[in-house]
């Protein structure tokens, strides 16, 4: 079976990129990362990619007059590498409508909340302020609206009474590293069907309930 060719966009440390790299190292995993693009030359995710022997590119957003021009430069790198799906892994740039439409239904993102709750960059603080008892993460298909689109995989974690933003973020990150590779696998195995703003997912039989209920893991 041919491997799904991934392009991963990063801005920072790339911990979810590392989770994808680890998954792709398995011969039986149905996807491979063919390119990692960063908008910052000092992004730690670039080091992770290079250590794994993955081709990298730096496209600095400050070198471009507007968002769409920057996105078109990123798009050119993705196409040159033969990318089929785009994974956002801590990519701290809003994508233009042009880019989202060009790669429609072929971009996924991971967000540290149980969407549609707590969108935006301060999701952990929002969850703590709201006093919810569960938070978590969501992998979703990207739309032009921030942190919106069909949801592929979610995992819940408890929000404890003494949680800080950092402690909650660390707990959620653990399940992020499970959910992102799973979401890519579902796509690569043809287990996802997009119906408008809903994803119909056929979960493989070897996946237990630890993703949906990670307290049992």
Walking along the chain (217 residues) 10 residues at a time, the average pLDDT comes out as: 93 96 97 98 97 98 95 98 98 96 98 97 96 96 96 95 96 95 97 94 78 46
Q: Are 95 and 115 in a shared domain?
A: no
The whole-number pLDDT of residue 2 equals: 83
152 shares a domain with 89: no
Q: Are residues 60 and 38 in the same domain?
A: yes
Residue in the structure block whose two tokens are 């609206």: 145
What was the pLDDT predicted at 207? Answer: 78
Please give the residue range of the domain that contains residue 118. Answer: 111-217
Q: Which of 215, 5, 9 is nearest to 93 (CA)?
A: 9
Boundary of a domain, candidates 63, 81, 103: 103
Do 135 and 77 have their domain in common?
A: no
| Upstream peptide bond of 212 is cis (omega within 30 degrees of 0) | no
DSSP state of 92: -
Q: How buried is 149 (Cβ within 10 angstroms: 0-12 exposed, 13-18 middle, 19+ buried)?
A: buried
Residue 107's SS3 state is strand
What's the confidence (pLDDT) of residue 181?
Answer: 97
Joined tokens for residue 204: 């493989």
In this structure, the answer to whether residues 99 and 116 fall within a common structural domain is no
- Domain boundary (79, 103, 127) is at 103
| 135 and 190 belong to one structural domain | yes
pTM reported for the whole predicted model: 0.93
Tokens 């653990």, located at residue: 174
* Residue the block writes with tokens 């935006």: 120
One domain for residues 135 and 65: no
Q: Quick check: is 111 catalytic?
A: yes
Question: Can you spell out the DSSP letters for 127-182?
Answer: HHHHT-SEEEEEEEE--SSTT-S-EEEEEEEE--TT--HHHHHHHHHHHHHHHHHH
Examine the domain organization and report whether 21 and 61 are in the same domain. yes
- Active-site residue among 3, 61, 77, 111? 111
Answer with the one of 60, 76, 103 that is the final residue of a domain: 103
Same structural domain for residues 35 and 68?
Answer: yes
Is 93 in the same domain as 116?
no
Residues 95 and 34 grouped into a single domain: yes
Residue 217, pLDDT score: 34
85 with 123, same domain: the answer is no
Overall number of domains in the chain? 2
For residue 13, the domain's CATH number is 3.40.50.170
């Amino acid at each position: 079976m041919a491997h799904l060719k991934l392009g991963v966009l990063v801005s920072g440390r790339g911990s979810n990129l590392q989770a994808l790299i680890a998954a792709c190292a398995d011969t039986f995993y149905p996807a491979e990362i063919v390119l990692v693009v960063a908008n910052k030359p000092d992004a730690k995710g670039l080091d992770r990619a290079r250590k794994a022997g993955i081709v990298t590119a730096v496209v600095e957003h400050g070198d471009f007059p507007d968002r769409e021009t920057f996105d078109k430069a990123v798009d050119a790198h993705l196409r040159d590498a033969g990318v089929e799906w785009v994974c956002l892994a801590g990519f701290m740039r809003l994508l233009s409508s042009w880019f989202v439409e060009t790669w429609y239904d072929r971009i996924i993102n991971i967000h540290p909340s149980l969407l549609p709750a707590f969108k935006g960059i301060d999701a952990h603080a929002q969850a703590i302020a709201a006093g919810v008892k569960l938070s978590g993460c969501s992998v979703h298909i990207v739309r032009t609206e921030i942190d919106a689109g069909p949801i592929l995989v979610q995992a819940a974690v408890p929000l404890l009474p003494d949680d800080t933003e950092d402690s909650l973020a660390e707990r959620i990150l653990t399940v992020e590293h499970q959910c992102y590779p799973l979401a890519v696998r579902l796509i690569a195995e043809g287990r996802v069907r997009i119906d408008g703003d809903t994803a119909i997912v056929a979960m493989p039989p070897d996946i237990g309930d630890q993703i949906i209920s990670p307290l049992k893991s």
